[in-house]
Chains A and B, each alone.
Chain A
Amino acid sequence: QKEVEQDPGPLSVPEGAIVSLNCTYSNSAFQYFMWYRQYSRKGPELLMYTYSSGNKEDGRFTAQVDKSSKYISLFIRDSQPSDSATYLCAMSARNSNYQLIWGAGTKLIIKP
């Protein structure tokens, strides 16, 4: 079993829809949770990060962490075709020297 599980998709939704992307994890020591976006033929770029539990909002994006369920989510409101990309979750813990553990990524397609 992988430490971080993420549905590879593709997830296809119409423009304007609310998108929910999720990761589950098994290591309860994870403290830092990140979402990266990767466009085709590009490297990943950091979208959002959260420390421990709770929500964080940045424009149309909301990151949510539920440590009791070992579950993190990224919500995208009013989705746009430019949001079409692969979204990767990543997380780290102090007891593993903060090495990032990555999900495999979910491919998201926003249809105009």
Chain B
Amino acid sequence: DVKVTQSSRYLVKRTGEKVFLECVQDMDHENMFWYRQDPGLGLRLIYFSYDVKMKEKGDIPEGYSVSREKKERFSLILESASTNQTSMYLCASSWGRTGIYGYTFGSGTRLTVV
């Protein structure tokens, strides 16, 4: 069964900490995405990558960075965690850019910053 695996389901971090969220996919997809999901705001794109070592800013990149050193792994980094970054973080991968072949999502990481 193909899947996207996110390293943690729940995380609690302190304000100012550097936080790493890891995502691994086993489908040989070129494209990978990081979203955050908040009630009433839906999914908002943070960063995405169409290839190894390539990254593009999404709609809300401030306070975040990413790393893609290998095709199957896409990491999201919160440089200095703040309480407004408390959210559900979803990683996704896809084969086609149009999305019609489907984005495969991980189960999410619920991050709480205290």
Interface residues of A (CB under 8 A from B): 6, 8, 32, 34, 36, 41-46, 49, 51, 88, 90, 92, 97-100, 102-105
Chain A residue at minimum C-beta to C-beta distance from B97: A98
A88 touching B40 in the complex, CB below 8 Å, given contacts A49-B100, A51-B100:
no
Question: A6 to chain B: which residues have CB within 8 Å?
Answer: 42
Please tell me if the beta carbons of A43 and B99 are within 8 angstroms of each other in the complex.
no
Please tell me if the beta carbons of A92 and B99 are within 8 angstroms of each other in the complex.
yes
A45 to B3, CA, bound (A): 11
A-B contact pairs, 15 of them (CB 8 A): A32-B100, A34-B99, A42-B107, A43-B107, A43-B108, A44-B105, A46-B102, A46-B103, A49-B100, A90-B99, A92-B98, A99-B45, A99-B58, A100-B99, A104-B42
Interface residues of B (CB under 8 A from A): 4, 40-43, 45, 48, 58, 90, 92, 97-100, 102-108
Q: How many contacts A-B (CB < 8 Å)?
A: 55
Please tell me if the beta carbons of A105 and B105 are within 8 angstroms of each other in the complex.
no
At the interface, is chain A mostly helix, strand, loop or mixed?
loop
Please tell me if the beta carbons of A32 and B107 are within 8 angstroms of each other in the complex.
no
A51 to B108, CA, bound (A): 28
Chain B residue at minimum C-beta to C-beta distance from A93: B98
Shortest C-beta distance, A7 to chain B (Å), equals: 12
Question: B97 to chain A: which residues have CB within 8 Å?
Answer: 97-98
Question: A8 to chain B: which residues have CB within 8 Å?
Answer: 40
Please tell me if the beta carbons of B43 and A88 are within 8 angstroms of each other in the complex.
yes
Chain B residue at minimum C-beta to C-beta distance from A51: B100
Question: B4 to chain A: which residues have CB within 8 Å?
Answer: 43
Apart from A49-B100, A105-B42, what are 18 other A-B pairs with CB-CB below 8 Å?
Answer: A32-B100, A34-B99, A41-B107, A42-B105, A42-B108, A43-B4, A43-B107, A44-B90, A44-B105, A45-B104, A46-B102, A49-B99, A90-B99, A92-B98, A98-B97, A99-B45, A100-B45, A104-B42
